Amino acid sequence: MKKPVELDGVVYPTKKDLRTAIQSYVAAAPLYTPLWDSFPYAIFDRHPHREEKTGCGLRHIDLRLTEYGNRGFYAVRTDGTDIDFSWQVALDFAPSGPTLAAAAREAIRSQIETVAIRNASLHVHHEGKPFRQLLNEWLAERGGDTPELIHGALHDYFKDPEDALSWTTYHLQHAVLRLVSVEEHKQLHGKRA
C-alpha cells in the first residue's frame, strides 16, 4: 500500500507524486536567484547533513547548474560561501552516506578540471569507457575490495590516501576525457547529464 508523504504543509498521495512536484519546481524556478518561498527550505531542513552544509549560517537557497548540467539546489551561507545539496538525499530518494562514486569523482577532480579549464562552457565526458565502468574495472582489479569512505563537510573521500592514489592513477591511465557541449552531454547521459 502506498503511503502519503507530507512536505511543507502539502500531503502528496505517494512518494512518486512528491518527486514529480520537486522536479517541476526545479525545472520552473529561476536560476541564480534567491528562492524565498518555503518549499526549498522544507527540503533543506530534512537533509541529514544540513548542519554541516549550513556552516556559519544560511543566507538563502538558490538553484544553479551543476557540473553535470542539471539544475540543483545550493545553500548560500552568510559568509558568502555556498554548497550544493541533494533533494534526493534529503527526502530519502538517494543514500545519505558517502558513496564510492562520489569519493571517486572527488579524487579525480583535478584531472577533470585540467580538461575543463580549456573551455568552461563545455562539459567533460568520459569517451569510450564511462566513469562507472572504469570504477568497476578498478574495483575488479583490486579483487572487489571496496575502499573505506568518509563523508566530509563538502565531499565524500577515500579514507586511505593510498586508495585515492590507486584510483586516480588508474583513472589517469585508462580514462579518455573529451570536452562536449552541455546538450551533447545530456544526450550522452540521458537525464543525469
The neighbour count for residue 28, using CB atoms within 10 Å, is: 9
Is the pTM value of this prediction over 0.75?
no
The domain boundary, picked from 24, 55, 90, lies at 90
- pLDDT value of position 120: 67
Domain boundary among 70, 90, 110: 90
119 and 61 share one domain: no
Please indicate, yes or no, whether residues 104 and 187 belong to a single structural domain of this protein.
yes
pLDDT at 97: 66
- At which of 42, 71, 90 does a domain end? 90
The domain that holds 22 is classified in CATH as: 3.10.450.40
Among 49, 50, 53, 42, which Cα is nearest to 18's? 42
Report the distance separating Cα 173 and Cα 193, nearest Å.
Answer: 24
Residue by residue, pLDDT tens for the chain (193 residues) are 688 999 999 999 999 999 999 999 999 999 999 999 999 999 999 998 899 899 999 999 999 987 666 788 999 999 999 988 988 888 887 666 677 888 888 888 888 888 877 776 778 888 888 888 999 999 999 988 889 888 765 578 898 999 999 999 999 999 999 888 888 877 877 644 3
Flag whether 95 is in a domain. Answer: no
Q: Which domain holds residue 166?
A: 100-192
How many domains does one find in the chain? 2
Answer yes or no: do 138 and 169 share one domain: yes
State which amino acid sits at residue 173: Q
**Co-location of 45 and 19 in the same domain:** yes
Based on the domain organization, do 52 and 107 belong to the same domain?
A: no
- Residue 40, judged by CB atoms within 10 A of its CB (0-12, 13-18, 19+), counts as buried
- Could you tell me the CA-to-CA distances from 99 to 21, 102, 131, 149 in Å, in that order? 26, 5, 14, 7
Dist CA 87 CA 101 (whole Å): 18
